[in-house]
Amino acid sequence: MSTTHLLKRADFIFKSDNDWKDVLKKSLSRKANELINELISSELKGRGGAGFPTGLKWKITSEIDSDEKYVICNADEGEPGTFKDREILSRVPFKVLTAIAVCGHVTKAKKGFIYLRGEYFFLKEGLEKAILEFETFCKTIGFDFSISIFMGSGAYICGEETALFESMEGKRGEPRNKPPFPSSCGYLNKPTVINNVETLAHTYTIFKYGAKRFYDLGVQFSRGTKLFSVSGDTPKPGIYELELGMSLADFVEEFGDDDTKAVQVGGASGFLVPRKRFAETTIGFQGRLVGISLPTGGSMMLFNSSRSMFNVLDNYLNFFAEESCGQCTPCRVGCQQLLRGIKAVKRGEKNAGYLDKLLKLAETMTYTAKCGLGQSVANSFSSIVENFREEMIY
């Protein structure tokens, strides 16, 4: 937690990927253990929102004995307010491809996939060209690895790792029970490393510059930089690479203004932070979620005083009710209850006290839902209802 940490920009991700061949060759010449330790000491954590330590993830899969293993790049970016992965794939695709291949080298996987959301179809041709060039080069250096693109078809839930596997296997994108975890039982029930696009782009930075360079940025528990997708009521919408650990107040100082009423950190499955809490909120990981430090996929949506928080919450709940896979009770029915519940309170059909019942329901969803979608609905629900209660009623 820091109030003096200033907004620090960095420029690693979008720096040209022209040197990919060197980075690839250099990395492939190193031992798997070395590469894993590099990642572990960098303390890089997943940038898709879940924040799992990347080095550990690669380590676990590399230690499992299996004839078939896979590396999958999760490009099913669908969290509202997030658009960074699209940029990465269109501007510096070779960084991602290199990272996938190095992961293959580390884990002994021979095949990589990019699960690309259907809405990003326009990226496919460019990516295919890049992959062709990449695979050709790999052949010349004797590295046996191939990458394919798998297209999604309009399902936010397929960004959840096990739902993604189900989708790739030709089934409905319904998340699986965990355990077992993807590291041991993933795509086709084989050991799989699945990483977000940005996470892979960061591993490129680490392999190129070494762990220390990455580790030296950011703060404790939240090392390195992150891409932030900034949108909403801001004069500076766009994508920015910033060191982790900044306070939200500093962020708003740069990207918002005096009229910024609230910021949604992490998309619809993230938290809405009201102005009064900007100073005490840090953007980073801190082991467990404590309400002050927020792990995030980097979506930052700013709302000014003209925005109705009721409309915002209504929009999110509509989103979840539609995109839920529908298999588990707390999420399938819970989302509908929350959505219709706030409408009922607003219309006066239920009194204000009903909001407290809904808050308890949201809590139950967090404890009992089968996957991250259902477990995260309470994040925005509780933070909006608790901080803007009057807007739910009047």
Partner 1 sequence: MEKRIKITINGDTTEVPQGTSILDAARQSGVIIPTLCYHKDLCVAGNCRVCVIEIAGQKRLAAACATPCEDGMEVLTNTLKVRNARKHIIELLLSEHNAECTSCYRNGNCELQKLASDYKIMTQDFLDLIPFKNYTIDNFSPSIIKDDSKCIRCQRCVRTCAELQSVNALTMSYKGEHARITTFFEKSMNEVVCTNCGQCVNHCPTGALTERNYIEEVWSALSDKTKFVIVQTAPAVRVGLGEELGFDPGERVTGKMVAALKRLGFYAVMDTDFTADLTIMEEGTELLSRLKGVLVDKRQDIKLPMATSCSPGWIKFIEHLYPNFLGHLSSCKSPQQMFGALVKTYYAKSKKIDPSKIVSVSIMPCTAKKFEAARPEMNDSGYRDVDYVLTTRELAIMIKQAGIDFLKLPDMHFDRLMGESTGAGVIFGATGGVMEAALRTAYELVTGRDVPFENLNITPVRGMEGVKEASITIENPLKDWAFLDGVQLKCAVAHGLTNAKFIMDALKEGKADYHFVEFMACPGGCLGGGGQPIPTNPEIRKKRALAIYAEDSGMPLRKSHQNPEIVKIYKDFLGKPLGEKSHKLLHTTYIKRTNF
Partner 2 sequence: MEPIKDLIKRLADRYGRERSSLLPILQGVVEQEKYLSEYSMTEIARELNLPAADVFGTATFYSFLENEKMGRYIIRLCKTITCSMKGENQILLTIQDLLKIKVGETTPDGNFSLLQTNCLGFCHKAPAMLINKEVYNELTPEKVREILTSYINSNGGGKENVNNTSS
The residues binding partner 2 (CB under 8 A) are 77-83, 85-87, 90-91, 117-122, 150-156, 167-173, 188, 229-233, 237-239, 264, 268, 299, 301, 303, 307, 311-312, 315-316, 318-319, 322-323, 325
Distance of closest approach, residue 252 Cβ to partner 2, in angstroms = 17
Q: Are 2 and 282 in contact (CB under 8 A)?
A: yes
Look at residue 307 and give the partner it binds from partner 2, partner 1, none, a contact being a CB closer than 5 to 8 Å depending on partner kind: partner 2
Task: Give me 220's structure tokens.
Answer: 């404790």
Q: Is 337 in the site for partner 1 (CB under 8 A)?
A: yes
Report the C-alpha gap between 309 and 302 in whole angstroms: 12
Look at residue 327 and give the partner it binds from partner 1, partner 2, none, a contact being a CB closer than 5 to 8 Å depending on partner kind: partner 1
Q: Mark 189-213 as b/e (b = at least 16 C-beta within 10 Å).
A: ebbbbbbbbbbbbbbbbbbbeebee
Look at residue 26 and give the partner it binds from partner 1, partner 2, none, a contact being a CB closer than 5 to 8 Å depending on partner kind: none
| Sign of the dihedral defined by the CA atoms of residues 160, 383, 251, 286, in that order | negative
| Sign of the dihedral defined by the CA atoms of residues 79, 72, 55, 92, in that order | negative
Site string for partner 1, 271-310 (x = CB under 8 A): ----------------------------------------
Q: Are 317 and 339 in contact (CB under 8 A)?
A: yes
Q: Is 344 in the site for partner 1 (CB under 8 A)?
A: yes
Angle at CA 315, nearest 5°, toward 313 and 319? 115
Task: Give me 368's structure tokens.
Answer: 């009992």
The arrangement of strands across the sheet holding 111-116 comes to 146-151, 111-116, 70-75, 192-196
Look at residue 238 and give the partner it binds from partner 2, partner 1, none, a contact being a CB closer than 5 to 8 Å depending on partner kind: partner 2
Site string for partner 1, 347-366 (x = CB under 8 A): ---x------x--xx--x-x
Q: Which stretch binds partner 1 (CB under 8 A): 4-12, 106-114, 227-235, 318-326?
A: 318-326
Task: Give me 203's structure tokens.
Answer: 């591993």
Q: Is 200 in the site for partner 1 (CB under 8 A)?
A: no
Residues 150-179 that bind partner 1 (CB under 8 A): 155, 157, 172-174, 177, 179
Count residues near partner 1 (CB under 8 A).
38
* Three-class secondary structure of residue 242 per DSSP: strand
Task: Give me 303's structure tokens.
Answer: 């709302």
Bond from prior residue into 175 cis (ω within 30 degrees of 0): no
Given 24, 294, 328, 384, the residue binding partner 1 (CB under 8 A): 328
Distance of closest approach, residue 325 Cβ to partner 1, in angstroms = 5
Look at residue 210 and give the partner it binds from partner 1, partner 2, none, a contact being a CB closer than 5 to 8 Å depending on partner kind: none
Report the C-alpha gap between 151 and 124 in whole angstroms: 9
Report the C-alpha gap between 21 and 37 in whole angstroms: 22
Angle at CA 209, nearest 5°, toward 206 and 212? 75
Q: How far is CA 148 from CA 159, 179, 204, in A?
A: 17, 27, 19
Q: Is 370 in the site for partner 1 (CB under 8 A)?
A: yes
Look at residue 316 and give the partner it binds from partner 2, partner 1, none, a contact being a CB closer than 5 to 8 Å depending on partner kind: partner 2
Distance of closest approach, residue 353 Cβ to partner 2, in angstroms = 27
204 HSE (CA, 13 A, CB side)? 31
Look at residue 367 and give the partner it binds from partner 2, partner 1, none, a contact being a CB closer than 5 to 8 Å depending on partner kind: partner 1
Q: Which stretch binds partner 1 (CB under 8 A): 56-64, 92-100, 198-206, 330-338?
A: 330-338
Q: Are 287 and 276 in contact (CB under 8 A)?
A: no
Task: Give me 301's structure tokens.
Answer: 């949506």
Task: Give me 311's structure tokens.
Answer: 């409309």
Taking the least distance from each CB to partner 2, the nearer of 107 and 167 is 167
Distance of closest approach, residue 270 Cβ to partner 1, in angstroms = 18
Contact residues for partner 1 (CB under 8 A)? 155, 157, 172-174, 177, 179, 320-330, 332-337, 340-341, 344, 350, 357, 360-361, 364, 366-370, 375
